[in-house]
Chain A
Amino acid sequence: MQAYDLPDAFGHFGQFGGTFVAETLVEALDELRDMYDKVKDDPEFLNEFHHDLKHFVGRPSPIYFAERLTKQIGGAKIFLKREDLNHTGAHKVNNTVGQALLAKRMGKPRVIAETGAGQHGVATATIAARLGLECVVYMGSEDIKRQSPNVYRMKLLGAKVVPVESGSKTLKDALNEALRDWVTNVSDTFYIIGTVAGPHPYPMMVRDFNSVVGKECKTQMPDIAGCQPDAILACVGGGSNAMGIFYPYIDDKNVRLIGVEAAGEGVETGKHAAPLTSNSPIGVLHGNRTYLMQNDEGQIIDTHSVSAGLDYPGVGPEHAWLKDSGRAEYVAVTDDDALKAFHNLCLIEGIIPALETSHALAYAEKLAATMPKEKVILVNLSGRGDKDINTVAGIAGLTL
């Protein structure tokens, strides 16, 4: 059996991925790809990366057996990979540490980022402060309203947060604006993309930096669970935490890989952010070809999700490939079900999960109930929910 080796040299995962950018960005992407090719197996770079992951981020993150949740559901055992315990509170920091070290190597004094929920923005601002880099974060003005604690966090860390007023004023528009900044300031600026999207080499590079999550699981699971998991679950917006935990398991065909998208008010209502589950058409956005929520003339349509981090009309091209090849499954969970899972985990395990993560937790509850007790489910607990308490309180009719 041939080992999984995608993407190809041009960043293609089958028909997905690639480099669909204006000519102005090609040189910067070539430079980035060459540098990444050079450092990805360079022991010195990897040492630096893992040193920061250990001492600055706090890795490895533990795997925790959610015993009371398992009992409550009464099916398969549920384990949680605790990415919420990382510095800055989510998996996002793994990638920003990697890319910021790359920026430093390339001698770029300025980093920019887009952010939806603010986790990637905070993670970028954090590592920029640590390395003494100037940091500008683009954030949709709608998301700024939804995630004000993270906006303030970024400012405390010395980043400039630029509100994006174009389009739907959410994550996709922040990405557009960051690309525009990059085109303009390409000589001194490194663009730290926060998810497994964008033009090649980003989907591959972001996956690689986040794959520390899955690699740790492979070592930890036999110790804590006595076996590798039967199924791995992760939420999917752009899909970086899911790729991070899926990737090291792709060749382990007996492990089910399940990505959980945001069904918003329900996939059937059209008000969702689930391009894979809703069988959206294939298109080109933000530098790659993938499944995209769009109308019949190719205009990107508005997405809906209670969680800003999943509010994205596309999905990383590798997920599109994993879906088509049948290697991974994709399902969607509504706002309501995600909120129920959110509250449940707070009460039964003493963990406040991110609303994004709560989508994966909701499906884990559903799936566990259908599986025998000796089976094992591993959920990537991709982030903590402190940033979401205003949103959750708002839904309950409270103002904090």
Chain B
Amino acid sequence: MSKIQTTFLRLKSENKKALIPFVTSGDPHPNMTVKMLHTLVESGADMIELGIPFSDPMADGPVIQRASERAIANNVGIKKTIKLVKEFRKKDINTPIILMGYANPIEAIGIKNFVSLIKDAEVDGVITVDYPPEESKDFVKLLKKQDIDSIFLLSPTTDDNRIKLITEQATGFLYYVSLKGVTGSANIDINQVSERVSNISKYSDLPIAVGFGVKDAETAKQVALISDAVVIGSRIINEVENSNQEDLLENIRALMTEIKNAIS
């Protein structure tokens, strides 16, 4: 059983919801990333999504685009990202790490090579934004062999046939994109999300995480009531972007604590 699965089981038995923050690797600087990951765990992260910087992040809004650009300016790409996870693992072997990124960097270093590198770094799951199930069968197989979860996105426009198709390949959890749009977009309609999440749960026993529009503690609280996990990305990157280096960790801690309290 993967660490992601055991984490969800534990939370369920404690009647709690998972908090999954997202940060981009190498932003604002590669020597801050591991510190930020530990801070996220200390302040309530149950798992972490770590973004692999990509030059053309077409599913991301301006906030995460800028994070990618800053990381790339710091020479951080897919290889350095995996190295940073390895470094994080020196002090934390328990918190699941999920890499989130686009197909091209993964294919550039080779899917087999990628899977063996992330296995070595004890990565627990992968979300590849532009790998729909039809185009990623080989990749999913390779990940399965190494007990690494393949996490797929579901959107408000995903119909029941596709939900079936996706849930057949997905492991770990399902990631419901709460709105039509890019990351960090407008506010979400919680009733609609609730309806969709309960529809998805008809097709799968996997936990369902909700993300893409969670902007504050209040939204996080509402999302936690109707799902198994809350993903918060652009809001955290806002802190990265607007904080002085010396205040950054404390600002992240404050934000995380506020959200953690709201969903507990």
Contacts and interface: CB of A to CB of B under 8 A. Distances in A.
A23 B158 contact: yes
Contacts of B135: 18-20
B204 interface: no
Contacts of A187: 180
A184 B180 CA distance: 5
Interface stretch (A43-51, A293-301, A372-380, A387-395): A293-301
Given A23-B152, A184-B180, A298 B106 contact: yes
B59 interface: yes
Nearest to B66: A166
Contacts of A18: 135
A284 B134 CA distance: 15
B135 to A, nearest CB: 5
Given A20-B131, A297-B78, A26 B157 contact: yes
Interface string A85-107: 00000000000000000000000
Contact of B182 (A20, A184, A287, A300): A184
Interface residues of A, number: 39
A297 B77 contact: yes
A351 B197 CA distance: 61
Contact of B77 (A26, A282, A283, A298): A298
Contacts of B102: 284
A166 B69 contact: yes
SS class, residues of chain A in contact with chain B: mixed
A300 to B, nearest CB: 5
A114 B59 CA distance: 16
Nearest to A21: B130
B157 A20 contact: no
A179 B58 CA distance: 7
Contacts of A183: 59, 180-182
A281 to B, nearest CB: 7
Contact of A21 (B78, B132, B152, B180): B132
B231 to A, nearest CB: 15
Interface residues of B, number: 44
Given A22-B153, A23-B153, A23-B177, A10 B54 contact: no
A299 B157 contact: no
Contacts of A292: 104
B132 A285 contact: no
Interface in B48-68: 53-59, 61-62, 65
B104 A300 contact: yes
Contacts of A282: 107
Contacts of B121: none
Contacts of B109: 296-298
A26 B103 contact: no
Contact of A22 (B72, B104, B129): B129
Interface in A1-38: 10, 18-24, 26-28
Contact of B105 (A167, A179, A184, A298): A298
Interface of A: 10, 18-24, 26-28, 166-167, 172-173, 175-176, 179-180, 183-187, 281-287, 292, 294-300
10 contacts: A20-B132, A26-B158, A167-B56, A176-B57, A180-B59, A183-B59, A283-B108, A284-B104, A294-B104, A297-B108
Given A167-B55, A184-B182, 9 more contacts: A20-B103, A20-B132, A20-B135, A22-B153, A24-B156, A166-B65, A183-B59, A283-B107, A298-B109
What are the 5 closest A-B residue pairs judged by CB atoms, nearest first?
A298-B108, A298-B105, A297-B77, A27-B157, A184-B181
